[in-house]
Amino acid sequence: MRTQIRIEPRFNGPPDSANGGYVCGLMAATVNQPLSVRLHNPPPLGIDLTLCFDSVSGKWHLLHDERLIAAANIAHEHVHLNAHVPRPPDYERALSASLQFTGHHQHPFPDCFVCGPHRAMHEGLRIFPGKMTDSNLVAAPWSPDASLDDGQGKVRPEYIWAALDCPGYFASVMPGRTALLGELAVHIDRNVHIEEPCVIIGWQILIEGRKHKVGTALFDKNGDRCAVGVATWIEV
């Protein structure tokens, strides 16, 4: 399989490149297989990229001309995603936590599609994870809007990947420091419905030098898990 994909400027993370979680999710949705994705270079916006399978390495490659943007393994078993996932707060407590979102006052990329506070309603996901007062979790409410519809009343999978991106940064990286997504794997238990009240959490797993390994998860209003992700963030 060899196909062209284009990341529209709407889906930026940093000002001049795409949100990493969205790109990883778009690769997985295009291939229609579970992937574990490593980003090698900032994904460019508004140009055609080539997604192809490399038979030598056994990986999917996302290329800009000959430059490797991302590489992905087929993740048949999400063993590393089956680690302990903390219990989420309810929607109201997640809403209270989001009021403590540090990005309201200090944000490295305030126009980020996922967590940018400069994004208007329906122009970004507006997921604002804040620290819980009684745990090491960050939490945020999320009610996905109609622009994320897959045509059947549910959220497209690439947006679920995106939603599980930025909360990991705020769970582990100190405010004021810049870090970029290095790797992400997501397992979707079920796609949530448009306008369904959800809760997203993030937690720190491990720090090794500049590398932050984090977990994120998405839950429905009953506290049932809908998706889980494990990511590595690299401090710049």
Q: In 3D, which of 170, 155, 172 has the Cα closest to residue 210?
A: 172
Confidence of residue 80 (pLDDT cuts 50, 70, 90): low
Tens-digit pLDDT profile for residues 181-204:
999 999 999 999 999 999 999 999
In this chain, the answer to whether the domains covering 2-74 and 79-235 adopt an identical fold is yes
Where do the structural domains in the chain lie, given as residue ranges?
A: 2-74, 79-235
Topology at the third CATH level for domain 79-235: Thiol Ester Dehydrase; Chain A (3.10.129)
Spell out the alpha helix ranges (H) of the chain. Answer: 20-31, 91-98, 157-163, 166-172
Per-residue pLDDT at 79 = 43
Sign of CA dihedral 11, 111, 180, 174: negative
User: Whole-model pTM?
Assistant: 0.95
Q: How would you list the strands of the sheet with 179-188, edge to edge?
A: 2-6, 48-54, 59-64, 67-74, 35-39, 179-188, 225-235, 211-219, 198-208, 138-142, 130-131
Q: For the residues of 72-95, what is the DSSP string, one character each?
A: EEE-S--GGG-S--PPPPPHHHHH
Strands 2-6 and 59-64: unpaired
Tens-digit pLDDT profile for residues 128-168:
999 999 889 999 999 999 999 999 999 999 999 999 999 99
For 86, other C-beta atoms within 10 Å of its C-beta total 15
Please give the CATH number for the structural domain made up of 2-74. Answer: 3.10.129.10
Instruction: Indicate the residue type of 232.
Output: T
Per-residue pLDDT at 74 = 85
Q: Please tell me the distance from the alpha carbon of residue 137 to that of residue 143, in angstroms, as a whole number.
A: 20
